[in-house]
Structure 1
Amino acid sequence: MKNLLKLEEVSEMLLALLVFTQLPYAWWVLPATFLLPDLSIVGYLAGPRVGAGCYNLAHHKAVALAVGIIGWWFAQPLLLLAGTVLLFHSAFDRLLGYGLKFTTGFRDTHLGRVG
């Protein structure tokens, strides 16, 4: 089952990469923006509840898809880029075992304890 879930994450990364190739941005934009969703950990400065909420919002795949679809629907390449980066980043995180956070602590995720 674990390998099947990893294959799913790789498939989502490839989908995001495919979408990115259709956008009007240079190749280096994806790696340059790849870590931007991790800026959401700044929310932890306000405590674990706010931190988990900020982190989960920036790493939730439904948010990534919604942002991307809105960008596509309204022909806004920047929003489509944002959704693509969010999906690519979130799938990569899940591939490495980093899941959505619980309010009990940064290391407690829906995929199990990290570290």
Structure 2
Amino acid sequence: MKNLLRLEELLQFILAIFLFNQLSYPGWLYLAFFLAPDLGMVGYLVNPKIGALLYNLFHHKGIAIALYLLGLSTDIPELLFAGLLLFGHSSFDRIFGYGLKYPDNFKNTHLGWIGKSSS
């Protein structure tokens, strides 16, 4: 099941790249901003609860899709870009087991504990 979920995330990541290539932005721009959603981790400097809130805000695929759809409906390419960036980044993270965070610990995610073997 774990590999099936990783494959699904990989395909979603590829979809984000495909859709980004339909925009008029150069490809290097996607790469330049690819790690930007991880700035949400700065909240962990305050405490784990704020950290999880900010991290999840920048890694929630529902928010990414909402931004993309808002960009489509308003013809604002920056929103399309932001939505695809968040969606692609979140998919990429989840390929490697980094999911949405619980407020108790950075390593506790909706995909399980980071670094712990599932066996």
Instruction: Flag whether TM exceeds 0.5 (same fold).
Output: yes
Once the two structures are superposed, what CA deviation does each residue of 1:1-24 show, in whole Å capped at 9, x if it has no partner? 112111110111111011101111
Q: Percent identity?
A: 51
Once the two structures are superposed, what CA deviation does each residue of 1:3-62 show, in whole Å capped at 9, x if it has no partner? 211111011111101110111101101111100000000111221111100000100000
SS in 1 for 2:16: helix
Moved more, 87-96 or 45-54: 45-54
TM-score (norm 2): 0.94
Q: Greater strand percent: which structure?
A: 1
Mapped partners of 1:43, 1:23: distance in 2: 31
1:1-115 aligned within 5 A: 1-115=1-115
In the alignment, structure 2 segments of 5+ residues that lack a partner are: none
SS in 2 for 1:44: helix
Mapped partners of 1:86, 1:114: distance in 2: 21
TM-score (norm 1): 0.97
SS in 2 for 1:37: helix
Aligned residue identity for 2:96: L
Mapped partners of 1:39, 1:92: distance in 2: 16
SS in 1 for 2:25: coil
Tell me how many residue pairs correspond in the alignment.
115
In the alignment, structure 1 segments of 5+ residues that lack a partner are: none
Mapped partners of 2:8, 2:77: distance in 1: 26
Mapped partners of 1:57, 1:39: distance in 2: 11
